[in-house]
Amino acid sequence: MDTSAVDAFFADSKSLRGPPPEWQQSSRPAEYEATWTIEGSIGDVAGALRFKCPKAYRSAPSVSVVVQGGLLVYRLDLDAPGIRHNNLPDAHRYGLPPFVDGPHIHGWEDNRSWVAANRFGELPYRRPLPPQVRRLPQALLWLGDAINLKIGHDQRGFDVPAQSELPLQVKNNGL
């Protein structure tokens, strides 16, 4: 896949297929994951949203947008305030700050040139999220607007796993 195909993916009207996904144990013991299929305008599978949620800090999920072949093209991280990530030294050329603190995105528009010159799989440039986007349901709606993704009324409200759904050792936190 090349960058023009990813540009076409973002330009196309898309929707989420079916009801919200179920959270599953990830291949990494310390996190949960869920995947939600993205359907293109003609009903084809265009990509997916891949959700990850750390067990120890459920308020910090991330959402990756992947296209055919599992290529990462966008990511939203709901990191806690105080978690600082540096941008590459030339970030100012894209109107980006030298670092972000807390919730942020790795947008295609900010990373397209880097991916074209290097490779898919990494999105090194970050942009802060608006201050009102702090929880997964808000972030999902914001992401939908950002990437031309329709989210149906029955698909809204998807959130991190409820505390009651977590295994006993996580709920008790080892106590």
User: What pLDDT, on the 0 to 100 scale, is given for residue 89?
Assistant: 97
The C-alpha atoms of residue 118 and residue 17 are separated, in whole angstroms, by 32
**4 membership: H or E segment, kind and range:** helix 3-11
Predicted TM-score of the model (pTM): 0.90
What the block records as the tokens of 19 is 């009801």
Number of domains in the chain: 1
Q: Is residue 144 part of a domain?
A: yes
The C-alpha atoms of residue 120 and residue 150 are separated, in whole angstroms, by 25
Q: Is residue 175 part of a domain?
A: no
Q: Is residue 168 part of a domain?
A: no
Q: Is residue 167 part of a domain?
A: no
Residue 161 confidence (pLDDT) above 90: no
What the block records as the tokens of 94 is 């894209």
Instruction: State the residue range of the domain holding 75.
Output: 3-162
Q: Is residue 66 part of a domain?
A: yes
User: What pLDDT, on the 0 to 100 scale, is given for residue 173?
Assistant: 38
Give residue 43's region: left, alpha or beta (phi > 0; psi -120 to 50): left
Q: Is residue 54 part of a domain?
A: yes
Mean pLDDT, residues 131-143 taken together: 96
Q: Is residue 63 part of a domain?
A: yes
Residue 5 confidence (pLDDT) above 60: yes
Q: Is residue 174 part of a domain?
A: no
pLDDT, tens only, 52-104: 999 988 999 999 999 988 999 999 999 988 999 999 999 999 999 999 999 99
Mean pLDDT, residues 21-48 taken together: 94
Residue 134 confidence (pLDDT) above 90: yes
Mean pLDDT, residues 117-124 taken together: 95
